[in-house]
Amino acid sequence: MTTDGVAAVPAYRDPHVPIETRVDDLISRMTLEEKAGQMMNAAPGIPRLGIPQYDWWNECLHGVGRAGIATVFPQAIGLAATWNKALMARVATAISDEARAKHHEAIRNDNHEIYYGLTFWSPNINIFRDPRWGRGQETYGEDPYLTARMGVEFVKGLQGDDARYLKLVATPKHYAVHSGPEADRHHFNARASERDLRETYLPAFKATITEAKAVSIMGAYNRTNGEPCNASPTLLQQILRDEWGFQGYVVSDCGAIADIYKDHHVVNTPEEATAISVKAGCDLECGATYRALMNAVKAGLIDEATLDVSLRRLFTARMRLGMFDPPEVVPYARIPIEVNDCEVHQALALQAACESIVLLKNAVNGFGNGLSAEYGGNGFLPLDKSKLKTVAVIGPNADDHNVLLGNYNGMPSKSYTPLDGIMAALPDAEVRYAKGCSIAGKSSNGFAWAVEAAEGADVAVVCLGLSQQMEGEEGQEEGVEAGARSFGDRGGLDLPGVQEELLKAVYATGTPVVLVLLSGSAVAVNWADEHVPAIVEAWYPGQAGGTAIAEVLFGDYNPAGRLPVTFYKSVEQLPPFEDYRMEGRTYRYFTGQPLYAFGHGLSYTTFTYANLALSAGTLKAGEGLTVTVDVTNTGSHAGDEVVQLYLTDVKGSTMRPMRFLAGFERVSLQPGDTKMATFTVLSEQLHVVDAEGRWVVEPGEFQAAVGGGMAHTLTANFTVVAS
């Protein structure tokens, strides 16, 4: 009591007290049972301390997920296809605005349930090493550098820039060496060499921790080199905390602690599993196995002081989020609920969808039908709206609102399928629709209606691809029919079911065909590449996907998306799915001929490159090298170009990638305009793991190649010296 008889505010409730002191004060008041409860995602309330229940589980992969109406942006792989860091930052900021608004609205309504908190389990920055992986759609693709750059922007946009308070907590996942097979993830041991670990699987995690200062990180289900990821001294202590200086908390994937004794069989009991996990540095469990912590302490497997270490990390995050402070002193608490699904965010979702679309093929119009407008070239696309009288829109993905959304999604207040977008763009034309077939079914009963729709039409837009039925997480129920589950991983790369036969049937009518793919991963459309004049990859484009597709088809938007993954010709070009060695995988190590290369994407205008220059001919360890190049729009219409910088070790002494991305910039150019793109190559980007497992800069000659992809580039060489 104070001298005037009023109870003193406990230190943990006083926003003027340093956070470290507040956290220690709170933990000192908790019982062992209460402590164990706070280390599970569904943390119960502690009424005597005035602590409400809190669920740590929230999702915002490409919009606030599973919490009602929210703006739904393109699935993560589509965001990666924009190659636009500034756009990614804007998208993440919009997501965090909606998340904060939803949280405080929920609190005002005494709603403390799952998916309404401030700790988000995004982004997924695993390397999409094999297109068969069902969750690759959640990632930023196959390249460590692109993944790192997009991941850093996403984390920063979520966590905000206030000097005192976090806006949200971001959680890069799944740490580490995790990309299928989905069916085996609970017992699988991913084996990765030190070289592949350091050069491929860890760089994006390192960047989001050391640069973006992510406050949380999620461990993977699998083992990595024999150690369960959520109880790995190598990953959680040696690398994450000792090397990278991580000060935040680690959360397990859901049920992963139980896997340690049930499926990995590393230990025999839940008490042992919880003890080794917490001692290794896994502070929070998604699940309920940590209930065994009380017995683990009593059995002497772990001491209470070690639990306190984890609790300090957890409550430090909650304090930094302002959860124990009056709302009026937390700036983010003042974000109004009206920002959710607002017009500005809807417009941003459309922009992101437009920027994500990749024009894979655009052949010269040889049909003589005059459909192609004069648009910087003579490709089949864009279609001239003024000359279209009848358009057929065909395929299982042509009018499916669900397929727009990907997984881990929110629910848009309104969404637009390709059919919706085309009909809105062509109010005076006859638009005929036929589904034709299902995504994966074997029935061709709908072919007759599709052929009838196509016959006599000026053009047929055939919307094929994949869905959450075909690719997704193990056991996934999102995005599939009620009572069904996703197939998880794919067994092959071809269009599933009878989709290709449908495409051939429509093509056989003689009506010109545009193929629009909606998918979360690469599809081997070899026949289409040989026969169909124009092919567009739209990913799972979010709520505005159909509008964006129509804008690209009719030239209202000039496409500039670029592939964040390699499109292979067949599964025969790939190593075994279970093999985590990078040899033979991704553009960095693949020696075959892809269908479409990483970084590929066409435009309705043309660009030329000139005046490639290096600031010096020698790069010393610990220094940087500036690379500049002039890019000119030589076509007749405005457009974006994605300038890409690749490096090659001309003569390395160890296994090195054939080339690797070292910089990129998306630039907008009016016809005739020239802009200089500037990149800084840091010596650390040239680090290699040598034969002794050391992370070093190897002296030697490197080649810098700059262009709109890996082909048709300008090159210049430079030398790297040790000091």
- Write out the DSSP string of 463-504: EEE--TTTS-STT--TTS-TT-----S-S-SSPPTTHHHHHH
Domains of the chain, residue spans: 48-268+309-334, 357-560, 607-721
Q: What local confidence, expressed as pLDDT, does residue 653 receive?
A: 67
CATH number of 607-721: 2.60.40.10
Look at residues 552, 492, 549 and name the one whose alpha carbon lies nearest to residue 518.
Answer: 549
Which residue ranges of the chain lie beneath pLDDT 50?
1, 3, 366-376
Look at residues 414, 428, 417 and name the one whose alpha carbon lies nearest to residue 394.
Answer: 417
Look at residues 689, 723, 720, 722 and name the one whose alpha carbon lies nearest to residue 704.
Answer: 720
Q: What local confidence, expressed as pLDDT, does residue 29 receive?
A: 98
Q: What residues pair up with 613 in beta bridges, in sequence order?
A: 628
Q: What local confidence, expressed as pLDDT, does residue 400 receive?
A: 98
Look at residues 567, 563, 637 and name the one whose alpha carbon lies nearest to residue 606.
Answer: 637
In angstroms, the CA 463 to CA 593 distance is 26
Positive/negative CA dihedral, 656, 659, 663, 664: negative
Tokens linked to 408? 């881990």
Query: 3-state class of 324 per DSSP?
Result: coil
Taking residue 712's Cβ as centre, other Cβ atoms within 10 Å add up to: 11
Note the residue count of the chain: 723
User: Which listed CATH number (3.30.390.50, 3.90.1150.10, 3.20.20.300, 3.30.499.10) goes with 48-268+309-334?
Assistant: 3.20.20.300
Contacts of 210 (CB under 8 A, 6+ apart): 244, 245
The number of angstroms, rounded, from the C-alpha of 345 to the middle of its chain's C-alpha atoms is 19
Query: 3-state class of 164 per DSSP?
Result: coil
- The amino acid that residue 554 corresponds to is F
Look at residues 541, 98, 104, 58 and name the one whose alpha carbon lies nearest to residue 344.
Answer: 98
CA angle at 51 for the pair 50 and 56, rounded to the nearest 5°: 170
In angstroms, the CA 206 to CA 646 distance is 21
In angstroms, the CA 209 to CA 522 distance is 29
Q: What local confidence, expressed as pLDDT, does residue 1 receive?
A: 42
Domains 48-268+309-334 and 607-721 share a fold: no
Q: Compute φ and ψ for 197, nearest 5 degrees.
A: -60, -50
Taking residue 711's Cβ as centre, other Cβ atoms within 10 Å add up to: 10
Tell me if the domain spanning 357-560 has CATH number 2.40.50.100. Answer: no
Helix (H) or strand (E) holding 140: none
In angstroms, the CA 490 to CA 496 distance is 9
Query: 3-state class of 285 per DSSP?
Result: strand
Distances (CA, A) of 551 to 75, 183, 193, 545, 556: 19, 39, 46, 10, 5
Distances (CA, A) of 4 to 24, 92, 307: 27, 49, 38
pTM: 0.97
- The amino acid that residue 706 corresponds to is V
Q: What local confidence, expressed as pLDDT, does residue 712 receive?
A: 72
Tokens linked to 424? 């809105």
Q: What local confidence, expressed as pLDDT, does residue 375 receive?
A: 35
Burial readout 573-588 (b: 16 or more C-beta within 10 A, e: otherwise)? bbbebeebbbeebbbb
Look at residues 336, 351, 416 and name the one whose alpha carbon lies nearest to residue 90.
Answer: 351
In angstroms, the CA 598 to CA 587 distance is 6
Q: What local confidence, expressed as pLDDT, does residue 372 receive?
A: 39
Question: What single string gives the DSSP state of each residue in 24-72?
Answer: HHHHHT--HHHHHHTTBSEEPPBGGGTBPPEE---B-SSS-BSSSB---
Residue at token pair 């859901």: 254
Look at residues 135, 101, 97, 99 and name the one whose alpha carbon lies nearest to residue 115.
Answer: 99
The DSSP secondary-structure symbol of 232 reads -
Catalogue the active-site residues: 253, 471
Query: 3-state class of 386 per DSSP?
Result: helix
